[in-house]
A and B are shown apart, each in its own frame.
Chain A
Amino acid sequence: MKLSALRPVTLVLSRELALTALLLLGVSFVVFVILFLAPGDPFSVLLEGQMPSHEARAGVREALGVPRTWYVQYVSWLGNLLRGNFGTSIRTGLPVFGEIVRVGLSTLYLTLGSMLVTLLIAVPIALHSSVRGATPLNRPFTLLAYLVSSLPVFWLGYVAIYLFSHKLGVFPLVSAASASADRAWLYSLLPICVLGIGNGTVSEVVRYLREELSRVMAEDYIRTARAKGASVWRHAFKEGLLIPMTEIIASKIPFILGGAVIVEQVFNWPGMGRMAWQAAQDRDFPAIMGIVMIAATLVRLGSLLQRVVYVAVNPRASKQRRGAGWAE
């Protein structure tokens, strides 16, 4: 890559990085406010049944070295977060951060795999209808995409377990953690497919890809490529498929992570979603707080990655205003 092409890219990327950092700061503030407003802070637990006066409460706080004002609390809490100190889980007594990293990897595996499945379903449908034009298969495919998007993912999980594990015996019926090593990857295929099909985004992904691809196929440069006998594909791929694909997938990460909570529950998958569910059951503040922070960070990283791809494919982008804002 030439230097002249590189400079705007680094410029855009540094701006995107700064924006990501700013958004994560906002995320941490929102989480802090929710925790700050939550009833039942540790002090009321400590002083339970003693009916202390206001001065006594303040005294206890003083003695424990808790900063009095909320912004001092926020800054010290944020400082801890940045050092990777997410507190200790109320349920297990272990540091939250280490636990999230451990389970986060299996969630990452699940979500990335299911994104792939979603794309494997959506891309052929979108390609078919935007390249071939109106064919008799279009409408059934579209309707199918709608149907699939409305399926409750937990029920789809039951059907899959019943069909593939109980009846056909294709997949072993154990959790990923205890599966024997040679069949472990096979087990993980089932939840990945279920989440990929049932995360509720298929119809939107199909529609977006189809619209973008049809728009690009109608562009003049594609007509020119066609006229001179060049490969239409090579010309349409970047703008017509690669960019829309990264855009729509990046914007659907939150949905897929949300779906992971349910799928992990159905399949007993030892991931972040199950940990979040457990934490909500036990009112385990530090654990759920850490999960929200990590999940939001994943979302931001996904959209950062999308911008990187966008700018790398299309250096013109560095001259434009940040496009992810208002475009649908």
Chain B
Amino acid sequence: MTRYSQIAGEGRDASDLPVWRSADTLDLAYIGYGLLIVALVLVSYVLGVFNWLPHDPEQIRFDLLNAPPGSAGHLLGTDFLGRDILSRLIVAIQAYFLPGLVAIVISLMVGTTLGALAGYRGGEVEVLVTYVNNLVDSFPRLVLILLVIAAFKADIYYIMIIVGVTGVPVVASLVAGKIAFLRQKHFIEAALVLGLPSHVIVLKHILWYHCGPLLVIRATIGMGEAILIETSLSYLGFGVQEPMPSWGNMVQAGANYFFQGKFWPSTAPALAILLTILGFHLLGDGLNSILEDRGGK
């Protein structure tokens, strides 16, 4: 992150163009795919909330067990109880959507605060924040979540608080690094000379004008992580319980049939996880390379 300072002058030409003109086609493709996934997730979430589904997700049909995709009006087939997989996939988005947002908000707010303090104040505050970051980074996320499950209960919001807190160090160090980089810039110097109070400089000049992209990128990647954790936990049997669907418990429920050669009930939710997490990854990284790395390559 600190390396950009030397190259910032050279990148001037490229950064005068609108970002999408100077961007790499591949990055744009990544972003396009990511946005498509985000749109799909949003639309499906709304569909699930209002219950506008092709079938009732909990309707059991013993005459149609483990049906392949496309059979009898079930676009993505049915699971081991004959329930419509597509409807279940859509409803399962509710298992992670709001909790994931909670996790993102926690890690962005706490992380930005800590990062701004460390980057702007420096000195002992920075040492303390570094300590907290390293401390939080010492815990394997999933193991810490299991501890909280054992100590309290397997509530998805408790789990997402932990996901949020364990996401703080990355945000804090990125924001602190950004601020350390921006502090050398003339506009900060000018603001200091003008005698602006530090909270104005930090909140308006640094965070508001210059950290937006960074936070959006972290939010995107954070959503991918939240989905990964939620699906892993519901796979392990914590979190959302049958008959409520979650992508993780759907994979798990299809496992027995998977080994009998009926791959689809387990593979459909696995593909949903794969494509969705991939979308959030690619969106985050694509945005990162066109918004943050400009001139850095």
List chain A positions with a Cβ less than 8 A from chain B.
19, 22-24, 26-27, 30-31, 34-35, 37-39, 139, 146-147, 149-155, 158, 161-162, 166, 200, 203, 215, 251, 253-255, 257-259, 261-262, 265, 273, 276-277, 279-285, 288-289, 291-292, 295-296, 299-300, 322, 324-328
A149 vs chain B, min Cβ distance (A): 7
> Can you name 21 A-B residue pairings with CB atoms under 8 Å?
A26-B131, A26-B138, A31-B147, A147-B274, A152-B231, A152-B248, A154-B232, A154-B235, A155-B251, A158-B251, A158-B255, A158-B266, A162-B263, A200-B228, A273-B143, A289-B147, A299-B137, A299-B138, A325-B126, A326-B176, A327-B177
**Closest 3 CB pairs between A and B?**
A258-B142, A155-B270, A38-B151
B213 vs chain A, min Cβ distance (A): 15
B47 vs chain A, min Cβ distance (A): 23
Cβ-neighbour of B144 out of A251, A292, A322 (below 8 A): A292
Q: Roughly how many angstroms separate A255 CA and B142 CA in the complex, as a whole number? A: 8
Q: Chain B residue with minimal CB distance to A322?
A: B130
* B interface, size bucket: 35 or more
For B8-49 the 0/1 string (1 means CB < 8 A from A) is: 000000000000000000100000000000000000000000
B274 x A280 contact (CB < 8 A): no
Instruction: Beyond the given A146-B282, A155-B267, A262-B235, please list 18 additional residue pairs across the A-B interface where CB-CB is below 8 A.
Output: A19-B134, A24-B138, A139-B26, A146-B278, A150-B273, A150-B277, A151-B274, A154-B248, A154-B270, A158-B251, A166-B259, A251-B137, A254-B137, A261-B232, A277-B146, A279-B146, A288-B151, A324-B134
A258 x B173 contact (CB < 8 A): no
- Chain B residues contacting A24 (CB-CB under 8 Å) are 138
Q: Chain B residue with minimal CB distance to A296?
A: B138
A324 vs chain B, min Cβ distance (A): 8
Q: Chain A residue with minimal CB distance to B271?
A: A155
B138 x A150 contact (CB < 8 A): no
B143 x A276 contact (CB < 8 A): yes
B252 at the binding interface (Cβ < 8 Å): yes
A152 vs chain B, min Cβ distance (A): 5
Cβ-neighbour of A328 out of B1, B126, B277 (below 8 A): B1
For B114-155 the 0/1 string (1 means CB < 8 A from A) is: 000000000000100011011101111111101111111010
- Chain A residues contacting B130 (CB-CB under 8 Å) are 322, 325-326
Q: Roughly how many angstroms separate A161 CA and B135 CA in the complex, as a whole number? A: 37
Contacts A292-B144, A292-B147 hold; do A27 and B138 have CB atoms under 8 A apart? yes
A280 x B149 contact (CB < 8 A): yes
Q: Roughly how many angstroms separate A26 CA and B277 CA in the complex, as a whole number? A: 33
A23 x B270 contact (CB < 8 A): no
- Chain B residues contacting A203 (CB-CB under 8 Å) are 281
B290 at the binding interface (Cβ < 8 Å): no
A328 x B143 contact (CB < 8 A): no
- Chain B residues contacting A284 (CB-CB under 8 Å) are 150
- Chain B residues contacting A30 (CB-CB under 8 Å) are 135, 139
A154 x B277 contact (CB < 8 A): no
Q: Roughly how many angstroms separate A200 CA and B274 CA in the complex, as a whole number? A: 11
Cβ-neighbour of A261 out of B138, B142, B180, B228 (below 8 A): B142
B259 x A38 contact (CB < 8 A): no
B11 vs chain A, min Cβ distance (A): 16
- Chain A residues contacting B134 (CB-CB under 8 Å) are 19, 23, 324-325
B200 at the binding interface (Cβ < 8 Å): no
- Chain B residues contacting A251 (CB-CB under 8 Å) are 137
Q: Roughly how many angstroms separate A208 CA and B139 CA in the complex, as a whole number? A: 22
B259 x A254 contact (CB < 8 A): no
A23 x B146 contact (CB < 8 A): no
A261 x B270 contact (CB < 8 A): no
B238 at the binding interface (Cβ < 8 Å): yes
B181 vs chain A, min Cβ distance (A): 10
Q: Roughly how many angstroms separate A285 CA and B176 CA in the complex, as a whole number? A: 37
- Chain A residues contacting B174 (CB-CB under 8 Å) are 328
Cβ-neighbour of A152 out of B140, B274, B281 (below 8 A): B274
Cβ-neighbour of A150 out of B1, B26, B274 (below 8 A): B274
Q: Roughly how many angstroms separate A277 CA and B143 CA in the complex, as a whole number? A: 9
For B256-294 the 0/1 string (1 means CB < 8 A from A) is: 001100010011001001110110011001000000000
A257 x B135 contact (CB < 8 A): no
B1 vs chain A, min Cβ distance (A): 6
Q: Roughly how many angstroms separate A227 CA and B214 CA in the complex, as a whole number? A: 40
B133 x A254 contact (CB < 8 A): no
A152 x B270 contact (CB < 8 A): yes
Cβ-neighbour of A38 out of B3, B152, B173 (below 8 A): B152
B143 x A327 contact (CB < 8 A): no
Q: Roughly how many angstroms separate A125 CA and B285 CA in the complex, as a whole number? A: 18
For B227-254 the 0/1 string (1 means CB < 8 A from A) is: 0100110011110000000001001100
- Chain A residues contacting B270 (CB-CB under 8 Å) are 152, 154-155
Q: Roughly how many angstroms separate A151 CA and B133 CA in the complex, as a whole number? A: 28
Cβ-neighbour of B259 out of A22, A162, A295, A322 (below 8 A): A162
B25 vs chain A, min Cβ distance (A): 10
A282 vs chain B, min Cβ distance (A): 8
- Chain B residues contacting A276 (CB-CB under 8 Å) are 143, 146
Q: Roughly how many angstroms separate A289 CA and B277 CA in the complex, as a whole number? A: 31
A257 x B149 contact (CB < 8 A): no
**A-facing residues in B208-224 (Cβ within 8 Å):** 224
Q: Roughly how many angstroms separate A161 CA and B140 CA in the complex, as a whole number? A: 26
B281 x A150 contact (CB < 8 A): yes
B143 vs chain A, min Cβ distance (A): 5
A254 x B139 contact (CB < 8 A): yes
Q: Roughly how many angstroms separate A285 CA and B237 CA in the complex, as a whole number? A: 18
